[in-house]
Structure 1
Amino acid sequence: MEAPDRNLALDLVRITEAAALSSGRWLGKGDKEAGDQAAVDAMRLSFNSLPIDGTVIIGEGEKDKAPMLYNGEHVGAGGALKVDVAVDPVEGTNLLAYGRPNAISVVGVAPKGTMFNPGPSFYMQKLVVPAAAKDVVHLDAPVKDNLTNIAKALDKDVNDLVVFVLDKPRHKQLISEIRATGARIQLHTDGDVAGSLMAIDPRSEVDLMMGTGGTPEGVLSACAIRAMGGEMLARLDPRSKKEEQALIDAGIDIREIYTVRTLVKTDDTFFAATGISGGTFLKGVTYTGQGATTHSLVMRGKTGTIRYIDAQHKWDKLMRFSSVKYD
């Protein structure tokens, strides 16, 4: 099919804004299910206004486990434009529930048939770097070699690099190896989509991301990484015998190394992310008696355009046109 000319990213940001505005009310209240549900409801309603025939490739899970925005669900008002959709209404539900930074709402879209479907894979090993370092890294290279090459490509000393790593027991050895090089580390409890975005965002102090995170999150991140010209090297990394056997049964080679070009097979990607809880990446939702302010990152891969959008939302006017419930 012909690549769509419409900049869907500007439509998608209204979807992530709605999800952030709805879920932000649950900041620090300790109920991650309620916060996620609020975001899902808002996002699903907002999709209904888009003239697309979308299929959710990366969603909340299988239909029987996630009644809304499940993998395989059709979204949009319909039309000739057929697209694959990746969503994470609240990336970092625990971050939102416990009032921690960097919970975000995220959506990615690409022409139908171009997104990698992770199937039974839940985890993948990832290395994410900005455009300047995309040709100097290898997933199987020693940590020291990769960091040395990245530092040279970024015109930095290794001691000045900042590496995003999820603070998980599985990364004990990785953290030791990074520290041995002298590089600095930002440890985060959750949020590897945010970590991928920080690694490629020129405004961020993070230089790269390393470690094992979610496979669906990897595909979602790839929509943005392609737009920014960065690179993600990844390999499926099953964390249980059950997951490994499911991949074998599905005929998936767990030794294969993926890139952004195999995770999303087109430059014609659209991506939007809106901050919910705030932090080092995107500011969170702030509420007033009359409305709220949101902060978003919007990208179109085809043109390479990146927008940072600060939006003022007025309740009295917004509620005349929106069916999304914000309070």
Structure 2
Amino acid sequence: MIRELAMEFARVTEAAAIASARWMGRGEKEKADDAAVVAMRSVFSTVQIDGTVVIGEGEMDEAPMLYIGERVGAGVDPKVDIAVDPVEGTNNVSRGLNNAIAVVAVTDTGGFLHAPDMYMDKIAVGPKAKGKIHLDAPVISNLKVVAEVNDKDIEDLTVVILNRPRHEKIIKEVRAAGARIKLIQDGDVAPAVAAAMAGTGVDMLLGIGGAPEGVLAAAALKCLGGEMQARLWPEDDEDIKRAQKLGIGDINRLLTMDDLVKTDDVVFAATGITDGDLVQGVRFFGNGARTHTVVMRAVTGTVRFIDAIHKLDKKPFTYRR
């Protein structure tokens, strides 16, 4: 993939974040999402790629979502696969809560697991714990490993878990081990990525969240040298059929990093909509806005943080939708 395209993908997530941030705290999550989709689609059309959305928000008949199978870009080489979530954490935007981001990951054709829209059990850790944790291991075992490799006491670890009834057992086990917990309401991509970045205060992500979000997080972890292990978590027969339709034969198979993201030629970009563990949210002033974006490439391992100021009167109308 052409190196210069990384900045183009940052432009895409910046546009979505600015558009969505205008709806922060207004209780209108659908409008926040729609604004981000329109802005993201508009800027994508200017990027010199022939892209296909393989991880998206829905099927073709659910427009205006960026749907699975949608073609994006200017229609010129290189051909790439796109994983996208214009607003990861729509409820967080509507309530003015932390960790809402606009996110894109891009790789060679066939580079992503085509994850169905269903649940996925996950564990995410940083580079030092790579190869030393296991999704099926007891919680205490994984905590001991992460503490040891990071030269910490278990009591100093912070584990991020979605605040859901299905996680009561995990929460009890983490607390019994003495580790700290940050419970989140929505949006597990940013904390999964934060687990692999020094200085974020996050050491591990545990629990069941969205499968598409798992692939997006895995793309970033591939860039950072971290690790995610996962397993699809179907709720019913329809989920199983959906997975099989996308070519996943064994629904119970442990998914490794190389299953989730099959190549090192991957770019990840995320712009903060609201403040969070990974990036800061959008700030508006006068006719301008300030954004904070992280862009990564797995080939080089480079991580860039982009602090940008935008003059909105010179931007496309989609920013002001």
Instruction: Classify the TM-score, shorter chain.
Output: over 0.9
1:102 aligns with 2:96: no
Which residue number in structure 1 is paired with residue 311 of structure 2?
314
1:217 aligns with 2:213: yes
**1: CA distance between counterparts of 2:222 and 2:264?**
6
Q: Deviations over 1:120-152 (max 9, x none)?
A: x51111000000001210111111111111110
Out of 89-98 and 272-281, give the one that drifted further: 272-281
| Equivalent position to 1:92, from 89, 98, 102 | 89
Taking a change above 3 Å as real, the CA distance of residues 165 and 314 of structure 1, as seen in their structure-2 partners, is same
The alpha carbon displacement at 1:287 in A equals 0.5
SS, match of residue 64 in structure 1: helix
AA at the equivalent of 1:98 = R
**1: CA distance between counterparts of 2:219 and 2:124?**
13
> Conserved in 1, the CA contact under 8 Å of 2:191 and 2:277?
no
Which residue number in structure 1 is paired with residue 161 of structure 2?
165
Which residue number in structure 2 is paired with residue 133 of structure 1?
129
> Conserved in 2, the CA contact under 8 Å of 1:285 and 1:295?
yes
| Equivalent position to 1:239, from 217, 235, 241 | 235
Taking a change above 3 Å as real, the CA distance of residues 248 and 304 of structure 1, as seen in their structure-2 partners, is closer
The alpha carbon displacement at 1:207 in A equals 0.3
> Conserved in 2, the CA contact under 8 Å of 1:7 and 1:300?
no
Which residue number in structure 1 is paired with residue 279 of structure 2?
282
1:182-221 alignment runs, 5 A limit: 182-221=178-217
| Equivalent position to 1:301, from 293, 298, 315 | 298
Out of 230-239 and 279-288, give the one that drifted further: 279-288
Out of 57-66 and 122-131, give the one that drifted further: 57-66
Taking a change above 3 Å as real, the CA distance of residues 90 and 123 of structure 1, as seen in their structure-2 partners, is same
Out of 295-304 and 234-243, give the one that drifted further: 234-243
AA at the equivalent of 2:153 = D
> Conserved in 1, the CA contact under 8 Å of 2:18 and 2:273?
yes
Q: Deviations over 1:247-302 (max 9, x none)?
A: 46766212211112111111110011000111333211110113010011110111
Unaligned runs of 5+ in 2: none
AA at the equivalent of 1:149 = V
Query: May I ask how many residue pairs the two structures share in their alignment?
Result: 320
The alpha carbon displacement at 1:67 in A equals 3.5
| Equivalent position to 1:260, from 245, 257, 264 | 257
**2: CA distance between counterparts of 1:294 and 1:84?**
26
Unaligned runs of 5+ in 1: none
RMSD: 1.5
**2: CA distance between counterparts of 1:268 and 1:251?**
23
Which residue number in structure 2 is paired with residue 148 of structure 1?
144
